[in-house]
Copies of this chain bind each other. A is one copy, B any other.
Amino acid sequence: MNEAELSKPERSGRLSADDWAQAALDMIAEQGVAAVAVEPLARRLGVTKGSFYWHFPSRDALLVAALERWEKLELETVWGQLEAVPDPRQRLRALFEMVAHEFKSHVIYSELLKALDHPAVQPVIGRVSERRMDYLTASFRQAGLGRTDAQHRARLAYSAYVGFLQLNLQLHQTRMQHDEFEAYVEHMMATLIPSV
């Protein structure tokens, strides 16, 4: 590869719809949903904005495509990892650990939580949440709770998870230190996980 190619993201001549969707997803991770704009993306990809409309009918359609991409990704990686953990307590802990250490998938999840304003974001986040809550419910049943209690506890635990993400976003200066975070997770587990 020569020097001229180093300055731009390498691609083989022309773009595909997937290239645009991936660029949009990167943009969400970097600067949030609002930053997904046709003109800046076109600049970044080295084409004019007019060409965008050959691949997608609208900016909205691009957002939807990017979000579908993310949904598939998070289903495979993040959620797949958790499924491997048999003990329900360990699973909850693993979930919170993942949040704390900010994998890319969670960065995007946070960005989407901030942009719930947008109609395209709501259904995706809704589906992901529903899936996660079903999963937690099953975990709590395995841990010995009755059906109704398991459902309520799952809702409570998932609320705690979403709320925790939000608070971390909100109280940016008060971002928790590692030790404090560990202590909080302990407290949360002791409170939410049924004892053996």
Report which A residues bind B (CB closer than 8 A). Answer: 32-34, 111, 113-117, 122, 125-126, 129-130, 148-149, 152-153, 155-156, 158-164, 166-167, 169-172, 174, 183-184, 187-188, 191-192
Q: List 13 A-B contacts (CB under 8 A).
A: A111-B117, A117-B117, A126-B171, A129-B167, A130-B174, A148-B183, A152-B183, A156-B191, A158-B167, A159-B161, A159-B164, A159-B167, A163-B163
Select one of B153, B170, B188 contacting A125, CB under 8 A: B170
Q: Could you tell me the distance in whole angstroms from the C-beta of A66 to the nearest C-beta in chain B?
A: 16
Say whether B116 contacts A169, CB under 8 Å. yes
**Chain A, interface SS category:** helix
Copies in the complex: 2
Contact A117 B34, CB 8 Å, known A152-B184, A155-B184, A160-B163: yes
The 4 closest A-B pairs by CB, nearest first: A159-B163, A163-B163, A162-B163, A152-B187
Contact A187 B149, CB 8 Å, known A158-B163, A163-B158, A163-B160: yes
- For the complex, what is the distance from the CA of A132 to the CA of B166, rounded to whole Å? 14
Q: Which residues of B contact A33 (CB under 8 A)?
A: 117
